[in-house]
Structure 1
Amino acid sequence: MSLKEALKDKFLIGVALNADQITGRDTAGIRVVEQHFNSITPENCMKSESLQPQEGKFDFALADQFVDFGEKNNMFIVGHTLIWHSQAPAWFFVDENGKDVSREVLIERMKNHITTVVGRYKGRVHGWDVVNEAIEDDGSFRKSKFYQIIGEDFIRLAFEFAHEADPDAELYYNDYSMAKKEKREGVIKMVRNLQSQGVKIDGIGMQGHMTMDFPAIEDFEESLLAFADLGVKVMITEFDLSALPSPKRDAGADLSLDYTYNKSLNPYPDGLPADVYEKWHNRCLDFFRLFLNHHDKIDRVTVWGVNDGQSWRNYWPVRGRTDYPLLFDRNHQPKPIVEAIIKEAMTIN
């Protein structure tokens, strides 16, 4: 039995695709995706620096192939991500002299980008990560260029522009370290404010970038239930579980972190010892048990990559490591966790 068959009455099971899978070069990876998953998210090809590297000059070649792949396989297609301070082209925020643009200009650039991208895939992309990572771990607004130039209103505007471009698409807010109490409260406040203004926001994506000791499952569950109480869909959007020691325990997915490589941070270059793998397996299964226990509140669980060798965790927050964070090994073979998740799903009504 495949993951998608076992989970069909629980939630969508999704996966992030890289360029080799989207273009068909990674044939083994494609077989895994087609067998086990019923939702796809692009790892990088729909980020703004990829879609609009120069103002007004869009490159949809890879994104078109991504959407075609999802349609061919009858999958739930997620667009990731429309507005994000990271992996945005440098021109987005500055004028021809390199100075910050005005509020009006940045709003117009946002609108043009969102309208063009969402409009192109109207009726084809089913859900969009509209805004990504706009809240800091302490619950305050991230002081990104979007925030500095426009203010917190940039979030409302992004959702409104996306809704105008495709009224039927689901619209999500996506962020990491969502188990932290302060961040949870900041996101809840932000979403309630949007709802009070009549803004369409359909779901919250809880990025699942886990380590062996962060977050506490109880804290993650508390946030999951709090977000569900807002009346929106809850999704686990970027699940992976690093087996390696983390230089910063609660880093979440902070791309600004970049630690120098040393051997002590890369202890398993030739494979996980049996005892470490058992701990990884049990912690991964505990998270999926949590998801299954709350399947009435969770719409989708998406793993962030097909196999261990393709995971970003091999180069973040320390480059050059060998990590084991996903459900399939470097040879595209299912780890025992896949069968364990399937068995667990079959025991839950």
Structure 2
Amino acid sequence: MLRTSLTFILLTIIFSSQKPKKNGVKDLFKESFYIGVAVNGQQVSGKEAGALPLIEEHFNSLSPENGLKWSLVHPKPEVYSFDFGDAYVALGEKMDAFTIGHCLVWHQQVPNWVFENESGEPLDKDKLLARMEDHIQTVAGRYKGKIDGWDVVNEVFNEDGTFRESKWYQIAGKDFIKNAFRKAYEVDPAAELYYNDYNVWKASKRAGILKLAKEMKAEGIRVDAIGMQGHYTLGGPSLDEIEKGIIEIAEAGFKVVITELDVDVLPRPNNSEGADLNINFANSPEYNPFVNGISPEAEAKLAQRYADLFQLFQKHKDKITRVTLWGLHDGKSWLNNFPVRGRTNYPLLFDRDLKLKEDVFAKLKVVSKQ
């Protein structure tokens, strides 16, 4: 009896001495929009130490960084690999997260065989569309009811609003986009369907996107939201340019989702913008100034940039349904290799030690109460 009483007293002391767990980022904005994060295979499987607790504490929406792209999930004509996808949706279910599928159709990370017959010659339009629809049926069909929203088509426009001359477009024209949305809706009518692109803040590119989206809507093809990839830098684009995009998309009758948010703190060659993976430069000290740690000045600018962005998103929370960070922490960010290979970048909310950047969090806390 005495031992039981002592144990109870010790446990009471231990638990009462622990500080209350601070709210996660998701809790700051729970009345405004989902806060999402793009995750990789190591994180989903639990092999990256410390990652899962952060994901569960700070995020209520998940996106797959690469694991559901065509080359990984469907590498050969009759071969599908669902190891990542199954673990990913299981994590989403465990967290009761708003789970995103990314992406069904893209011009990159897609094998050449998709566009060719057995002789290596280009497929005709009907066969290509059939192959695409079969892929959507298999992948989206497997996760019907488990994935809440799909990036159906990704990055089909040039900066001037014209269509990208991808193999998809060369063979099938814009019908591949329309057929992809039709098929995705047919397979899982309960899932939200998105068109996703970078540099949507540019008026010329946005005009092309919205023209097509409204055309599809007029034809009875469901498009729920336009994904504005948030690959920004410390200096640009301006908040006014981003805001114009949010307002125009909403006025056109579509929801807005901020799909791939990060802030590049490093200088870029030729002031390159966006996320075109065809742009890549070799490393050099000029473009990699923070190898041994970010400067206090840049760190302060990063915190303020996130505060300004989230303040804008809060202002338009009636239009925005989700804000997703493109990666969990600095060490795994794609910006360590884009647009300059091998850099040490600091674009996310968590540092390389998986520690929350307190200055950023403090500013987001203030913004969330406005």
Normalising to structure 2: TM-score of the pair?
A: 0.92
- Residue by residue, what CA displacement relative to the aligned partner does 1:60-114 show, whole Å, maximum 9, x if unpaired? 1111000000001100000000000000112111122222111111001001000
Question: Equivalent residue for 1:11?
Answer: 33
Q: CA deviation at 1:342?
A: 2.1
Match of 2:232 among 177, 192, 210: 210
Cα separation, 1, equivalents of 2:165 and 2:64: 26
- Aligned mates of 1:311, 1:12 — CA distance in 2: 21
| 2:193 maps to 1:171 | yes
| TM-fit CA distance, 1:14 | 0.2
Q: How many residues align?
A: 347
1:340 match: 363
Contact map agreement 1:184 1:223 (CA 8 A) in 2: yes
C-alpha offsets along residues 40-62 of structure 1, whole Å, 9 cap, x if unaligned?
Answer: 00000100111110012111111
Q: Residue 259 of structure 1 aligns with which residue?
A: 281
Question: 2:61 matched to which residue of 1?
Answer: 39
Query: Corresponding residue for 1:314?
Result: 336
- Asked if 2 retains the 8 angstrom alpha-carbon contact of 1:202 and 1:233, the reply is yes
Deviation at 1:260, TM superposition (A): 1.6
Counterpart residue identity of residue 56, structure 2: E
Indicate the SS of the match to 2:88.
helix
Contact 2:302–2:360 (8 Å) recurs in 1: no
SS at match of 1:257: coil
Asked if 1:241 corresponds to 2:226, the answer is no
Per-residue CA deviation, residues 221-241 of structure 1 (Å, 9 max, x unaligned), is 101110011222100000000
8 A contact 2:258–2:322 mirrored in 1:
yes
Q: Larger Rg: 1 or 2?
A: 2
Residue 113 (str. 1) matches residue 105 (str. 2): no
- Off by >3 Å, runs of 4+ in structure 1: none
Cα offsets for 1:201-222 (capped at 9, x unmatched): 1111000000122212111110
Letter in 2 for 1:343: V
| Residue number among 137, 141, 164 corresponding to 1:142 in the alignment | 164
| Corresponding position of 2:75 | 53
Q: Gaps spanning 5+ residues in structure 1: where?
A: none
Conserved 8 A contact 2:103-2:151: yes
Q: 2:291 aligns with which of 269, 278, 286?
A: 269
Residue deviations 1:148-180, cap 9 Å, x none? 000011111000000010111100000001111
Q: Are residue 199 (structure 1) and residue 221 (structure 2) matched?
A: yes
The amino acid of 1:266's aligned partner reads: N
Aligned counterpart in structure 2 of residue 281 of structure 1, from 303, 310, 313: 303
* Secondary structure of 2:360 counterpart: helix
Distance (Å, rounded) in 2 between the aligned partners of 1:43 and 1:97: 33
**Kept in 2: contact 1:214–1:250 (CA 8 A):** no
Contact 1:215 1:250 survives alignment (8 Å): no
Q: Distance in 2 between matches of 1:209 and 1:73?
A: 26
Alpha-carbon offset, residue 269 of structure 1: 0.5
Q: Percent identity?
A: 44
Paired AA for residue 116 in structure 1 = T
For the 8 Å contact 1:214–1:249, the answer to whether it is kept is no
> Which of 111, 121, 126 pairs up with 1:89?
111
Deviations 1:104-153 (A, max 9, x none): 11001001000111111111100000000011111001111110000011
For the residue of structure 1 that corresponds to 2:99, the secondary structure is strand
Identify the residue that residue 317 of structure 2 maps to in structure 1: 295
Q: Which amino acid aligns with 2:200?
A: M
Which deviates the most, 22-31 or 146-155?
A: 22-31
Rounded Cα–Cα distance in structure 2 between residues aligned with 1:325 and 1:299: 22
Is the 8 Å Cα contact of residues 303 and 363 (structure 2) preserved in structure 1? no
Partners in 1 of 2:282 and 2:341 — Cα distance?
Answer: 8
Aligned mates of 2:233, 2:134 — CA distance in 1: 38
Report the Cα distance in structure 2 between the residues aligned to 1:97 and 1:255, rounded to whole angstroms: 29
Structure 2 residue matching 1:27: 3-state secondary structure: coil
Secondary structure (helix, strand or coil) at the match of 1:198 reads coil
Q: CA offset at residue 27 of structure 1?
A: 3.2
The answer to whether structure 1 residue 28 and structure 2 residue 86 are counterparts is no
Distance 2:54 2:365 in 1: 15
SS in structure 2 of the partner of residue 248 of structure 1: helix
Equivalent of 1:100 in 122, 128, 131: 122
Match of 2:246 in 1: 224
How far 1:250 moved relative to its partner?
Answer: 4.1
